[in-house]
């Protein structure tokens, strides 16, 4: 969910990470106490999130290629979307 959300942000389809969180919490039933997938990724660390996505990519192939925005944020030391 986070990787797809980062793709949506990077492509300009969504304006803010919080917009994505609202859709997932209210529309898809993501646990509200986690604040949404984008917020959750920020709380555990974008670097950790990126590493987990890369681990999935190693096992499952390019379906799990990290979103360019997520990789860029981590490379530049950013901690939030």
**CATH number of residue 18's parent domain:** 1.10.1040.50
CA distance 27 to 43: 22
Query: Residue 41 in contact with residue 63, Cβ under 8 Å?
Result: no
pLDDT tens over the chain, length 81 residues: 999 999 999 999 999 999 999 999 999 999 999 999 999 999 999 999 999 999 999 999 999 999 999 999 999 999 999
What does the pLDDT read at residue 50? 98
CA distance 50 to 60: 15
What does the pLDDT read at residue 49? 98
What does the pLDDT read at residue 12? 97
Give me 46's structure tokens: 């974008």
Q: How many structural domains compose the chain?
A: 1
CA distance 57 to 62: 6
What is the pTM for the complete model shown? Answer: 0.90
What does the pLDDT read at residue 19? 97
Residue range(s) defining the domain that contains residue 52: 2-75
Residue 26 inside a domain? The answer is: yes
Residue 81 inside a domain? The answer is: no
């Amino acid at each position: 969910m986070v990787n797809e959300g980062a793709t949506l942000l990077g492509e300009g389809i969504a304006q803010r990470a919080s917009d994505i969180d609202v859709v997932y919490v209210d529309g898809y039933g993501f646990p509200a106490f986690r604040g949404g997938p984008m917020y959750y990724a920020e709380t555990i660390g974008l670097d950790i999130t990126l590493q987990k996505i890369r681990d999935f990519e190693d096992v499952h192939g390019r379906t799990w290629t990290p979103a360019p925005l997520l990789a860029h944020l981590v490379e530049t030391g950013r901690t939030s979307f």
